């Protein structure tokens, strides 16, 4: 081959070729004609109305050439493309549907815009052959995911069910093998993709890939299990208790037969629910009994009488069901009901006498049965009953300190060291005394404390016998104001007796305590007239008051960390009931 190539090159070099004039002219004319045709096609392309489709444009066989966009859209709309019928081919089966029913929507305007956009691109790139050639575009198709999901769930439901295992069933007392059921699984996203692609081309058939799902337990090999289950039914099974026999109905035994594949090979198993239902029914009807509670009678906290209760009994359902399952597998025909005794509870009845011991027991039980920490004291005004619980424990006083402060201010007025009309930062002493008690306002309390002097306040309280109460926390070694239920009760009792202030100031302070606005505790649980002062601050909740009315008059002080108003109301009601109000 190399030799022939060298000979050809030598021949060409020795015989130079000169093109004839005719050949040159022909080539030139051809180039001129081609250039003229290209130029004319470009001019015609640019001169073509931009709003019209190219003469050879079409969509799925529908000719749209020279139509403007509105006419093209009208033509496509008239074909009702959303009603296009599609056939899903699933293995050897078929399923008929429409685009609309499956949630697919043909976007006619977007399809026409797609054609016009391609034409404009051909113009911009000076490619007339792409503009004038026959052009057929696929439809633009979108899908509504919600509608497609409904279509998939309803019309194709059988194609995404789990396979049904073969098993055993009982008909007229005979056990039969129930064949399994093979199902098919269709991938939803793949189906959506394939249907969308077919919709764009208006294809009438859509091949659908489906995965065969075979049951885990097949009918072959179940004959030994069927024979064993038949023996269960033929033998029957009964439950026994206290000489009684309770045969399990054949229908319940039949419903309990099932096949399980926990191991590699299928096993005969027990569906425990039917057995459980039967045992529960006979237990409720014939065996279970409620215990009769015993009684314990307490008077003033001491047991005065006891009455023993009667135990009940109850079938242990789960253990009995397991005994039945074990018995069936072992070839037995009966099992005893598993029954347990239920211990009787004890109901406690508490009564209290109108004595110091009785009221003390009431306070002790109240504190023990409610959450929080308590300091309590109750004393009748005549002193014949006195009961306490943790009364000397010091609590943060919260706003109950204001009754002590009011006493100190009145006392200084009586001593001539303070005047009612003296001005403070919040108003006169007279104004602040009224507002501090009626509305428990803090600014007035602070102003009165400064007017009297906090150190002087503590001194007056100590002289009056309230040594556990300190209000002067305006010093480095004290953070809060403190008092006790014992001091608070003593204060109220002595105030009511007129032993703290003169008659005028005593009446004035008691009237304001009776009129103050916070009355959810002791006043709410008492039928008499109550002069009280409350305090609440960072979990502390206090109420101390003088209760007066028909019958015994008394002072009740409730101090706590964690108490509630409804608890104080209940205690006041119980105290009133015990004292015979």
Fold agreement between 223-346 and 356-578: no
Instruction: Indicate the burial class of 24 (C-beta count within 10 angstroms; 0-12, 13-18, 19 or more).
Output: exposed
Mean pLDDT score, 405-421? 97
pLDDT of residue 349 exceeding 70: yes
Q: Is 375 helix (H, G, I), strand (E, B) or coil?
A: strand
Mean pLDDT score, 49-53? 75
∠ at Cα 245 (241, 247), nearest 5°? 125
pLDDT tens across 141-160, in order?
Answer: 889 999 988 888 888 877 77
- Report d(CA 154, CA 89) in Å as an integer: 17
pLDDT band at 260 (very low <50, low <70, confident <90, very high): confident
pLDDT band at 8 (very low <50, low <70, confident <90, very high): very low
What pLDDT score does 442 carry?
95
pLDDT band at 12 (very low <50, low <70, confident <90, very high): very low
Q: What is the CATH number of domain 223-346?
A: 3.10.20.800
Q: Can you name the residues that pair with 473 across neighbouring β-strands?
A: none
pLDDT of residue 314 exceeding 70: yes
pLDDT of residue 263 exceeding 70: no
* Residues of the chain above pLDDT 70, percent: 91
∠ at Cα 321 (319, 326), nearest 5°? 95
pLDDT of residue 490 exceeding 80: yes
Helix (H) or strand (E) holding 350: strand 346-351
pLDDT of residue 83 exceeding 50: yes
Mean pLDDT score, 438-454? 96
pLDDT of residue 434 exceeding 70: yes
What pLDDT score does 236 carry?
92
pLDDT of residue 9 exceeding 70: no
pLDDT-wise least confident of 65-69, 73-77, 240-244, 557-561? 65-69
Q: Higher model confidence: residue 179 or residue 93?
A: 179
pLDDT tens across 532-558, in order?
Answer: 999 999 999 999 999 998 778 999 999
Q: Give me the chain's average pLDDT, please.
A: 88
pLDDT-wise least confident of 13-22, 312-321, 362-371, 402-411? 13-22
pLDDT-wise least confident of 116-125, 436-445, 452-461? 116-125
Mean pLDDT score, 219-224? 87
| C-alpha closest to that of 275 among 337, 214, 216, 225 | 337
What pLDDT score does 218 carry?
86
CB proximity list for 544: less than 8 A, separation 6 or greater:
400, 403, 485, 488, 489, 491, 492, 522, 532, 533, 555, 556, 557, 558, 559
What pLDDT score does 152 carry?
86
pLDDT of residue 506 exceeding 70: yes
- Report d(CA 99, CA 104) in Å as an integer: 5
Pairing between β-strand 334-336 and β-strand 238-241 as defined by DSSP bridges: parallel
Q: Higher model confidence: residue 546 or residue 81?
A: 546
Per CATH, the homologous superfamily of domain 356-578 is DD-peptidase/beta-lactamase superfamily (3.40.710.10)
pLDDT of residue 23 exceeding 80: no
pTM beyond cutoff 0.75: no
Mean pLDDT score, 305-332? 93
- Cβ 362 vs Cβ 574: under 8 Å: yes
What pLDDT score does 7 carry?
54
Phi, psi (degrees; rounded to nearest 5) at 425: -65, -20
pLDDT band at 46 (very low <50, low <70, confident <90, very high): low
pLDDT band at 571 (very low <50, low <70, confident <90, very high): very high
pLDDT-wise least confident of 39-53, 66-80, 409-423, 474-488? 39-53
pLDDT band at 566 (very low <50, low <70, confident <90, very high): very high
- Cβ 118 vs Cβ 177: under 8 Å: no
Mean pLDDT score, 133-139? 72
What pLDDT score does 524 carry?
95
pLDDT band at 16 (very low <50, low <70, confident <90, very high): low
pLDDT of residue 196 exceeding 90: no
pLDDT band at 450 (very low <50, low <70, confident <90, very high): very high
Mean pLDDT score, 550-570? 93
As a dihedral over the C-alpha atoms of residue 312, residue 318, residue 323, residue 325, rounded to 10 degrees, the angle is 150
* Residues of the chain above pLDDT 90, percent: 56
Mean pLDDT score, 326-348? 93
Domain ranges of the chain: 223-346, 356-578
Q: Higher model confidence: residue 51 or residue 207?
A: 207
CB proximity list for 285: less than 8 A, separation 6 or greater:
none
pLDDT of residue 4 exceeding 60: no
pLDDT band at 1 (very low <50, low <70, confident <90, very high): very low
* DSSP-assigned letters across all residues of 496-549: HTT-SS-HHHHHHHHHHHHH-S--SSTGGG-SSEEEEEEEEETTEEEEEEEEES
Helix (H) or strand (E) holding 248: none
What pLDDT score does 3 carry?
47
pLDDT of residue 5 exceeding 70: no
pLDDT band at 458 (very low <50, low <70, confident <90, very high): very high
What pLDDT score does 548 carry?
94
pLDDT-wise least confident of 130-134, 278-282, 320-324, 427-431? 130-134
């Amino acid at each position: 081959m190399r030799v022939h190539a060298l000979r050809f090159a030598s021949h060409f070099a020795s015989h130079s070729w000169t093109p004839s004039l005719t050949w040159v002219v022909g080539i030139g004319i051809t180039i001129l004609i081609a250039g003229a045709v290209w130029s004319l096609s470009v001019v015609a392309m640019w001169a073509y109305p931009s709003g019209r489709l190219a003469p050879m444009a079409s969509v799925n066989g529908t000719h749209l050439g020279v139509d403007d966009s509105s006419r093209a859209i009208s033509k496509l709309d008239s074909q009702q493309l959303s009603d296009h019928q599609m056939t899903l081919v699933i293995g050897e089966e078929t399923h008929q549907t429409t685009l609309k029913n499956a949630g697919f929507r043909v976007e006619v305007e977007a399809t026409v815009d797609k054609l016009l956009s391609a034409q404009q691109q051909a113009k911009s790139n000076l490619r007339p052959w792409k503009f004038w050639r026959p052009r057929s575009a696929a439809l633009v198709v979108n899908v509504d995911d919600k509608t497609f999901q409904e279509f998939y769930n309803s019309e194709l439901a059988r194609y995404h069910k789990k396979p049904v295992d073969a098993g055993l069933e009982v008909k007229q007392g005979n056990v039969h093998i129930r064949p399994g059921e093979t199902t098919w699984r269709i991938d939803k996203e793949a189906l959506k993709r394939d249907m969308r692609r077919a919709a764009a081309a208006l294809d009438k058939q859509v091949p659908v890939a489906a995965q065969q799902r075979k049951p885990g337990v097949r009918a072959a090999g179940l004959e030994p299990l069927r024979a064993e289950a038949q023996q269960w039914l033929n033998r029957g099974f009964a439950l026994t208790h206290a000489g009684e026999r309770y045969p399990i109905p054949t229908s319940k035994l039949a419903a309990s037969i099932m096949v399980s594949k926990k191991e590699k090979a299928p096993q005969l198993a027990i569906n425990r629910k039917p057995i459980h239902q039967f045992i529960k029914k006979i237990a409720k009807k014939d065996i279970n009994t409620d215990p009769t509670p015993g009684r314990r009678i307490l008077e003033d906290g001491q047991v005065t009488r006891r009455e023993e209760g009667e135990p009940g009994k109850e079938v242990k359902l789960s253990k009995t069901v397991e005994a039945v399952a074990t018995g069936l597998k072992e070839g037995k025909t009966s099992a005893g009901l598993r029954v347990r005794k239920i211990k009787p509870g004890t109901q406690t009845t508490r009564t209290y006498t109108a004595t110091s011991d009785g009221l003390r027991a009431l306070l002790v039980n109240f504190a023990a049965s409610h959450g929080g920490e308590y300091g309590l004291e109750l004393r009748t005004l005549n002193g014949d009953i006195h009961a306490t619980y943790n009364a000397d424990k010091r609590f943060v006083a919260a706003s109950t300190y204001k009754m002590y402060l009011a006493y100190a201010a009145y006392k200084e007025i009586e001593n001539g060291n303070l005047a009612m009309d003296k001005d403070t930062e919040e108003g006169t002493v007279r104004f602040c005394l009224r507002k501090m008690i009626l509305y428990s306002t803090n600014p007035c309390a602070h102003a009165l404390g400064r007017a009297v002097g906090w150190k002087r306040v503590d001194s007056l309280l100590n002289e009056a016998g309230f040594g556990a109460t300190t209000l002067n926390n305006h010093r480095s070694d004290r953070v809060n104001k403190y008092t006790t239920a014992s001091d608070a009760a003593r204060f109220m009792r002595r105030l009511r007796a007129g032993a703290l202030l003169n008659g005028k100031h005593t009446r004035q302070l008691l009237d304001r305590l009776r009129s103050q606005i916070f009355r959810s505790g002791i006043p709410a649980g008492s039928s008499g007239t109550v002069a009280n002062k409350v305090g609440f601050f960072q979990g502390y909740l206090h109420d101390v008051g003088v209760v007066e009315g028909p019958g015994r008059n008394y002072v009740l002080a409730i101090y706590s960390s964690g108490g509630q108003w409804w608890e104080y109301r209940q205690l006041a009601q119980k105290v009133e009931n015990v004292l015979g109000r």
